Amino acid sequence: MGAGILGIGKYIPERVLTNFDLEKMMDTSDEWIKTRTGIEERRIADDNTDTSDMAYYAAKEAIKNAGITAKDIDLILVATVTPDQPFPSVSCMLQDRLGANHVPAMDISAACSGFMYGMITAKQFIDTKTYTNILIVGVEKLSKITDWKDRSTAVLFGDAAAAAVMGPVGDDKGILSFELGSDGSGGKYLYQEGSKLVMNGREVFKFAVRQMGESAVRVVEKAGLEKEDIDYLIPHQANIRIMEASRQRLDIPEEKLVKTVHKYGNTSASSIPLALADNVENGKIKDGDVLVLVGFGGGLTWGAVALRW
């Protein structure tokens, strides 16, 4: 028996903020943003939509697509660094709003690697047959902590949620291998101070290029796969240049790199499941495909998974 994804869902706010809109707000240009990051536009949630609202919408869709009801969920995990408030957790708010049973619920704080941490936590409970259906949500309302006066970070982020129900799948399916890690000495490169996000972009860039490449290669090796076996690489959608570097490190063709960064920007914990949900919905990712998911984020943290869909 493997541990895999039974259903997936997403929520993206309606409001689109383009690079051209940003040109009117700060000293930047569409050209700079596009060439440095690959981002063309991002979504921004309205004032009445908080993190838990977005989590709820995505979770509802994932539960429906998994063919279960909220009452069938055994554990709720929410990966976020932008909760409505420090406590109660978004996962507890979700338990109530979904009408789930009084099951355990906890938030995971691993920034952009949060969904990878959630998946691997879920896998342990599924492998040990402790729980059957586990809801994992990656959700961020980054616009709440964006410093709109800092052009070097404000252009990068967006709001979104994506969710998955994980559970037992066939032996040859689900998670084939994984890697998780952290290096707290790099915490100084990406953190929240007061109510604002602060980042040393160059240091994060260097770390991301090295770590994403190495982790992706290691999960492929651990799963006993060859590079030809990989159907799609889904890296954390932070910056096209970082994503491209991990594709080159895996030495796979360009068309195997899944990209949503141009339309959503960096949505932190929701970025990987959102890219997954988009490409499952549009039929690109098909039953039996081998996927490599790899993320990095504040902490510093990282995580990677090789998975058969």
The yes or no reply on residue 201 touching ligand ACO (CB under 6 A) is yes
- The only residue of 16, 21, 30, 32 in contact with ligand ACO, by rule CB under 6 A: 32
- The only residue of 15, 16, 21, 28 in contact with ligand ACO, by rule CB under 6 A: 28
How close are the terminal C-alpha atoms of the chain, in Å? 14
* DSSP track, 44-101: ---TT--HHHHHHHHHHHHHHHTT--GGG--EEEEE-SS-SSSSS-HHHHHHHHHT--
The yes or no reply on residue 205 touching ligand ACO (CB under 6 A) is yes
Task: Decide if 304 contacts 297 (C-beta within 8 A).
Answer: no
Site for ligand ACO in 94-123 (CB under 6 A): 111-112
Q: Are strands 290-297 and 301-308 parallel, antiparallel or unpaired?
A: antiparallel
C-alpha to C-alpha distances, 263 to 40, 66, 238, nearest whole angstrom:
6, 26, 12
Locate 96 and state its tokens: 């109530």
The yes or no reply on residue 208 touching ligand ACO (CB under 6 A) is yes
The yes or no reply on residue 297 touching ligand ACO (CB under 6 A) is yes
- Rounded-to-integer distance, Cα 271 and Cα 116, Å: 11
- Rounded-to-integer distance, Cα 10 and Cα 102, Å: 24
- The only residue of 166, 238, 306, 307 in contact with ligand ACO, by rule CB under 6 A: 238
Minimum Å gap between C-beta 76 and ligand ACO is 22
Count, residues near ligand ACO per rule CB under 6 A:
23
Locate 275 and state its tokens: 């890219």
Task: Decide if 59 contacts 90 (C-beta within 8 A).
Answer: no
The yes or no reply on residue 239 touching ligand ACO (CB under 6 A) is yes
- The one catalytic residue among 19, 65, 112, 279: 112
Residue 266 among the catalytic residues? yes
The yes or no reply on residue 222 touching ligand ACO (CB under 6 A) is no
Binding mask 144-183 for ligand ACO (x = CB under 6 A): -------xx--x----------------------------
Minimum Å gap between C-beta 168 and ligand ACO is 31
The yes or no reply on residue 37 touching ligand ACO (CB under 6 A) is yes
Q: Is the peptide bond before 168 cis (omega within 30 degrees of 0)?
A: no
Q: Write out the residues near ligand ACO by the rule CB under 6 A.
A: 28, 32-33, 36-37, 111-112, 151-152, 155, 190, 199, 201-202, 204-205, 208, 238-239, 266, 268, 297-298
Question: Which residues form the catalytic set?
Answer: 112, 236, 266
